[in-house]
Amino acid sequence: MIGLTGAPGAGKSTLVDQMARLYRKHNSSVGIIAVDPTSPYTGGAILGDRIRMQEHFADPGIYIRSMATRGSLGGLARTTADVTTVLDASGRDVILIETVGVGQDEVDIVRLADITIVILVPGMGDDVQTIKAGIMEIADIFVVNKSDYAGADRVEREVRGLQSLALRHDGWAPPIVKTVASSGAGIDELAKAIAAYEDYLQRENLALKKSVENWQERLVEMLRDVMLEKARAQMSDGNLARLAAEVAEHKRDPYTLVEEIAEGNFRL
């Protein structure tokens, strides 16, 4: 499971397309999940992605799903996690998750991934500093895309500089790969960097550890949803409104009420 994150327009979709192409050439089946809450895949964005992805649609070895429903039950991260689990269970060799690197949801989504790739582009100036705070720590691999533009070396130097300040606790030094996604330059190198990190995870037995940590969080979330569902099933919305009124009027103690509902002892 490979998560790719970066600013809008950084070239994530183009990179995903190139990577899918490469993995298909090696006969790996590929799942693609595109999460872009900032542009809900209407108009230009979806059109661009669709046209680019068109040849993949005819290939049964590729499954493409785009997610844009923020505010759905459980949120974007939860829904994406569910789709990822299904894809994983279906035996896809490689799952690519594209997400815009902005909010907590997106950070959660990339945390789902076994490998997180952070995509930077030249001409960001001080933005590298800003990104450092959130996304920087989660990068297993850095990609400097649009290396056909001036300033790619500078971005690389800046990332190196920041890396020297903060060593990872697992000892992995995230490599920096320069790419031109639109021409495919550097994609082989990126695939090699991914394979090297995979080897590292295997060698250090970290893949399973990471997955266990992930599931520990997700099980709690799933449990919370199921239990809430069960509690709510005990009463209709009308009852809820009446109970709320009783609590507001100090006729009922909310703590006892909630305990009763949680224990399944509540009957109207």
Ligand X SMILES: Nc1nc2c(ncn2[C@@H]2O[C@H](COP(=O)(O)OP(=O)(O)O)[C@@H](O)[C@H]2O)c(=O)[nH]1
Radius of gyration of the chain (CA): 22
Q: Does 38 bind ligand X (CB under 6 A)?
A: no
Q: Does 254 bind ligand X (CB under 6 A)?
A: no
Q: Does 18 bind ligand X (CB under 6 A)?
A: no
CB distance 27 to 62 below 8 Å: no
User: Residue 13 or 80: which CB sits closer to Mg ion?
Assistant: 13
The item of ligand X, Mg ion, none sharing an interface with residue 80, based on CB under 5 to 8 Å by kind, is none
Structure-block tokens of residue 52: 């680019």
Beta carbon of residue 144, minimum distance to ligand X (angstroms, whole number): 9
Q: Does 178 bind ligand X (CB under 6 A)?
A: no
Q: How many CA within 13 A on the CB side of residue 18?
A: 20
- Checking 48-57 for CB contacts under 8 A at 24+ apart, the result is 48/13, 49/13, 52/13, 52/14, 52/17, 53/17, 56/17, 56/20, 56/32
Site string for ligand X, 44-83 (x = CB under 6 A): ----x-----------------------------------
* CA 205 – CA 244 distance, rounded (Å): 51
The item of Mg ion, ligand X, none sharing an interface with residue 75, based on CB under 5 to 8 Å by kind, is none
Choose, by CB under 6 A, the member of 38, 79, 163, 182 that binds ligand X.
Answer: 182
Where on the chain is the footprint of ligand X (CB under 6 A)?
6, 8-14, 48, 145-146, 148, 180-182
